[in-house]
């Protein structure tokens, strides 16, 4: 049996708010003020971008020094198809740039007309972003420069600024196409027909609902489909008193573990059609489907006598 | 007293551009069963289980706990997970066996790159302050390293194309590989790297069984003994590193004993052609060493598993009697940031 693979777009966004240490804070605040800072190591090297600890000795670094906004390309790569989030949306060169006064190189973009205009050793300078907030993107990119290398200009900034930047929000978004795999595809397709199907382990015979394709006790594939329910038994429950965002359900309500008839473990669902304080272990329930719903909206009492504890104690 | 530990079995999936019809555990389980079958062990016989994977690849939170269903993890087993290539899971399992707490270990790893955009996903492993906001993708960073190698005269574009062609030609005898035979070298992806210089994007899984001492001899006719294994890391800032060299690889190889005697085979985890140039230099591999007879990561690169596969492929050649002393290498991070080296040996064959 082949069923069409189910797919759905899945967007994962994680905007982390990150605090900065003293060196990163000075560096990013400096970029906001169009000042590039490095940090000096005990052996006299100047690291740009600056870090809090020496990458060789792990010694704490705090000696900030200003370097030039001009520098030399140490390596490059031509990016003819910029991707989302990258510094420029027209073709550009990725570059490592050793700024004048620095001993290490900074990664950024170089705005150049084409790969023939870029070479290792070429001179470049910072192009500042019009709007700056204290982030690496305050450098919009680099651009070609005819400045001489090793200029003797004196820069004396010590890294102290009015209103230091102390944190950044690192935005991130990744786009996926989610596909649930064979077992869950079959489960979801059955739900669309208002049937709940589990899968039986060929070894221990336990029926998993929802199925995930494997029996975690035996470590073997499950494949034999078993329709379960529609009736089931409340094995345990809780009373929810806090309204969830984006959920149009009056509190208090009951959320329960429900062992559907024939299932080897309980799934969970909301109990409706009965006052919240009358729900109990052993209550017999059945799913309530709503028009267009892809899964049971909730479960309601069937009116059958309560199940005997012995019949569901293994499913708690 | 140091215990002798060996790779006694290896299995891998066929690596494919997509495995969308399978969940991760569904993709992984046949490999787990295959590697167990090779030793006759059952899951309940395994002393320690360790896996490597990353939820970012497929965008599934806690996918490694779901994957555990495939090993029969209930009731609870002795188990661990690393958010790294499975080669590092193998390292953890090796240390576990060294302690004497277990005699056998199951190591597996898997990666499904097909649901997402792996070039973008890998930007999230970078420094969040100075690098990640620029979204420098994995090919761009490798291309910066490649250009540095070209500028310094270590390689050129035709030499890189030759690495690609040799790898895919060798992969013709590897039925698991994704890219085999004659593959056009293609256009620039990020110059100087062309399509052919980059690894295929795909899904796959691999598993290895380790055993200690006599247990290894019972389970395998010719165990691949781990004579040394070590891993080292470099600074995370690319501008601090010497991109044309890999001191971390060299140090790991030295600590693993790789330079004590020549190896006959090397399985190198070099997803980009230019990285093989760096690794050959760091590992001092001459033309007498058979490099990546499997086709390497240029033929199949299931992220999080491709490093473990290098150890598995090297071990399998020893199992089959095709190698007596092999080096296996795994890498992690941009431009070969972190590197693991293992030296594997078979005992003298009776027919010699």
For residue A98, the cross-strand partners are A72
Question: How far is the CA of B291 from the CAs of A64, B259, B279, in angstroms?
Answer: 46, 16, 11
Specify the pLDDT at position A150. Answer: 59
Specify the pLDDT at position B149. Answer: 98
Q: Are B127 and B237 in contact (CB under 8 A)?
A: yes
pLDDT tens column, A108-135: 999 999 999 999 999 999 999 999 999 9
Do residues B105 and B166 share a domain? Answer: no
Give this complex's ipTM. 0.95
Q: Which residue has the tokens 């033309």?
A: B287
Q: What is the mean pLDDT of residues B197-222?
A: 97
Specify the pLDDT at position B351. Answer: 59
pTM for the structure as a whole: 0.95
Specify the pLDDT at position A94. Answer: 98
Domain definitions of chain A by residue range: 9-170, 182-315
Specify the pLDDT at position B262. Answer: 97
Whether B9 shows a pLDDT value over 60: the answer reads yes
Which pLDDT band, with edges at 50, 70 and 90, does B352 fall under? low
Q: Is residue B351 part of a domain?
A: no
Which chain A residues have a beta carbon less than 8 Å from that of B129? 18, 20, 24, 28, 136, 168, 170
Question: The domain containing residue B45 runs over which residues?
Answer: 5-115+200-219
Do residues B142 and B174 share a domain? Answer: yes
For residues A195 and A187, give the distance between their C-alpha atoms in angstroms, rounded to a whole number.
Answer: 9
Distance from CA of A215 to the nearest CA of B (A): 6
Q: B58 — contact with chain A (CB < 8 Å)? A: yes
Q: Of A56, A120, A179, which has the smallest distance from its Cβ to B151's Cβ?
A: A120
For chain A, positions 6-45, list CB contacts with chain B under 8 A.
7, 10, 12, 16, 18, 20, 24, 28
Q: Is residue B32 part of a domain?
A: yes
Specify the pLDDT at position A151. Answer: 55
Q: Is residue B195 part of a domain?
A: yes
Distance from CA of B236 to the nearest CA of A (A): 8
B192: closest chain A residue by CA? A77
Angle at the Cα of B341 (from B137 to B165), degrees rounded to 5?
Answer: 55
Whether A153 shows a pLDDT value over 70: the answer reads no
Helix (H) or strand (E) holding A288: strand A284-288
- Interface probe for A, chosen from B69, B149, B151, B274 (most Cβ of A below 10 Å), is B69
Give the number of C-alpha atoms closer than 13 A to the C-alpha of residue A265, restricted to the C-beta side: 17
Q: What is the mean pLDDT of residues B171-198?
A: 96
Q: Is residue B302 part of a domain?
A: yes
pLDDT tens column, A277-310: 999 999 999 999 999 888 999 999 999 999 999 9
CB-based contact A107 B238, cutoff 8 Å: yes
- Dihedral, CA atoms, B35, B102, B92, B5, nearest 10 degrees? -70
Q: B256 — contact with chain A (CB < 8 Å)? A: no
Q: CATH number for the domain including B245?
A: 3.40.47.10
Do residues B92 and B230 share a domain? Answer: no
Do residues B166 and B264 share a domain? Answer: yes
CB-based contact A80 B120, cutoff 8 Å: no
For residues A201 and A277, give the distance between their C-alpha atoms in angstroms, rounded to a whole number.
Answer: 37
For residues A13 and A296, give the distance between their C-alpha atoms in angstroms, rounded to a whole number.
Answer: 29
Distance from CA of A97 to the nearest CA of B (A): 8
pLDDT tens column, B10-66: 999 999 999 999 999 999 999 999 999 999 999 889 999 999 999 999 998 888 888
Q: Is residue B242 part of a domain?
A: yes
CB-based contact A135 B133, cutoff 8 Å: yes
Q: A166 — contact with chain B (CB < 8 Å)? A: no
Specify the pLDDT at position A89. Answer: 97
CB-based contact B134 A168, cutoff 8 Å: no
- Interface probe for A, chosen from B127, B240, B241, B244 (most Cβ of A below 10 Å), is B240
Do residues B99 and B182 share a domain? Answer: no
Which chain B residues have a beta carbon less than 8 Å from that of A181? 21-26
For residues B334 and B121, give the distance between their C-alpha atoms in angstroms, rounded to a whole number.
Answer: 12
Which pLDDT band, with edges at 50, 70 and 90, does A2 fall under? low
Q: Is residue B350 part of a domain?
A: no
Distance from CA of B296 to the nearest CA of A (A): 24
Specify the pLDDT at position B248. Answer: 98
pLDDT tens column, B292-330: 999 999 999 999 999 999 999 999 999 999 999 999 999
Which chain A residues have a beta carbon less than 8 Å from that of B188? 78, 80
Determine if the peptide bond prior to B157 is cis (ω within 30°).
Answer: no
Positive or negative torsion for Cα B186, B188, B194, B199: negative
Distance from CA of B278 to the nearest CA of A (A): 16
Whether B350 shows a pLDDT value over 90: the answer reads no
Mean pLDDT of chain B, nearest integer = 96
pLDDT tens column, B231-255: 999 998 999 999 999 999 999 999 9
Specify the pLDDT at position B194. Answer: 98
Among B191, B219, B247, which residue terminates a domain? B219
Q: What is the mean pLDDT of residues A41-63?
A: 94
Q: Is residue B204 part of a domain?
A: yes
Specify the pLDDT at position A170. Answer: 87
Do residues B170 and B209 share a domain? Answer: no
Q: What is the mean pLDDT of residues B117-143?
A: 96
Q: What is the mean pLDDT of residues A240-266?
A: 92
């Amino acid at each position: 049996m082949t069923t069409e693979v189910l797919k759905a777009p899945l967007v994962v966004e994680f905007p982390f708010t990150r605090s900065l240490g003293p060196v990163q804070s000075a560096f990013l605040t400096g970029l906001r003020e169009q000042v590039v800072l490095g940090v000096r190591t005990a052996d006299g090297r100047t690291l740009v971008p600056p870090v809090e600890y020496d990458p060789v000795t792990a010694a704490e670094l705090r000696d900030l020094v200003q370097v030039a906004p001009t520098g030399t390309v140490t390596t490059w790569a031509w990016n003819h198809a910029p991707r989302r989030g990258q510094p420029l949306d027209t073709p550009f060169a990725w570059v490592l740039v050793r700024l004048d006064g620095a001993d290490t190189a900074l990664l950024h973009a170089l705005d150049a007309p084409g790969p023939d205009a870029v070479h290792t050793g070429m001179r470049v300078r910072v192009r500042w972003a019009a709007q700056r907030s204290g982030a690496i993107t305050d450098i919009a990119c680099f651009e070609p420069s005819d400045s001489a290398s090793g200029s003797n200009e004196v820069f004396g900034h010590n890294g102290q600024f009015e209103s230091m930047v102390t944190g950044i929000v690192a935005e991130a978004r990744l786009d996926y196409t989610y596909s649930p795999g064979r077992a869950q595809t079959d489960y979801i397709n059955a739900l669309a027909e208002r049937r709940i199907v589990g899968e039986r382990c060929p070894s221990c015979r336990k029926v998993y609902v929802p199925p995930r394709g494997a029996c975690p006790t035996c470590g073997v594939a499950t494949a034999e489909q078993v329709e379960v329910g529609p009736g089931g038994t409340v094995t345990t429950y809780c009373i929810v008193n806090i309204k969830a965002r984006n959920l149009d359900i009056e509190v208090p309500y009951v959320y329960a573990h429900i062992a559907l008839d024939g299932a080897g473990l309980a799934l969970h669902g909301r109990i409706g059609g009965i006052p919240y304080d009358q729900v109990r272990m052993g209550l017999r329930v059945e799913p309530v489907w709503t028009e267009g719903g892809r899964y049971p909206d909730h479960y309601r009492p069937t009116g059958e006598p309560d199940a005997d504890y012995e019949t569901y104690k293994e499913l708690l | 007293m140091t215990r002798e530990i060996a790779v006694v079995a290896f299995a891998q999936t066929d690596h494919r551009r997509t495995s969308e019809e399978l969940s991760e555990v569904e993709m992984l389980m046949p490999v787990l069963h295959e590697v167990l079958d090779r030793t006759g062990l059952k899951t309940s016989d395994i002393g320690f289980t360790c896996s490597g994977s990353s939820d970012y690849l497929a965008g599934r939170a806690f996918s490694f706990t779901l994957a555990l269903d495939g090993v029969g993890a209930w009731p609870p087993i002795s188990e661990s997970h690393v958010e790294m290539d499975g080669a590092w899971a193998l390292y953890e399992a090796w240390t576990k066996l060294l302690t004497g707490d277990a005699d056998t270990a199951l190591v597996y790893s898997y990666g499904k790159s097909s649901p997402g955009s792996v070039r973008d996903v890998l930007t999230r492993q970078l420094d969040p302050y100075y690098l990640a906001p620029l979204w420098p993708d994995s090919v761009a960073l490798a291309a910066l390293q490649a250009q540095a190698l070209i500028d310094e005269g270590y390689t050129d574009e035709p030499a890189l194309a030759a690495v690609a062609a040799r790898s895919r030609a060798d992969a013709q005898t590897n039925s698991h590989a994704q890219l085999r035979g004659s593959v056009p070298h293609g256009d620039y992806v990020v110059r100087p790297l062309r399509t052919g210089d980059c690894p295929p994007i795909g899904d796959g899984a691999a598993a290895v069984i380790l055993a200690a001492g006599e247990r290894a001899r019972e389970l395998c006719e010719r165990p691949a003994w781990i004579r040394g294994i070590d891993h080292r890391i470099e600074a995370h800032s690319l501008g601090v590193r010497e991109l044309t060299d890999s001191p971390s690889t060299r140090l790991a190889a030295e600590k693993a004993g790789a330079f004590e005697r020549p190896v006959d085979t090397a399985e190198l985890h070099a997803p980009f052609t230019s990285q093989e140039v760096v690794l050959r230099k760091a590992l001092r591999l001459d033309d007498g060493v058979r490099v990546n007879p499997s086709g390497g990561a240029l033929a199949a690169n299931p992220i999080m598993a491709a490093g473990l596969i290098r150890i598995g492929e090297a071990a399998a050649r020893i199992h089959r009697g095709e190698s007596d002393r092999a080096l296996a290498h795994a890498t992690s991070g941009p431009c070969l940031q972190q590197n693991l080296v293992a030296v594997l040996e078979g005992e003298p064959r009776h027919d010699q």
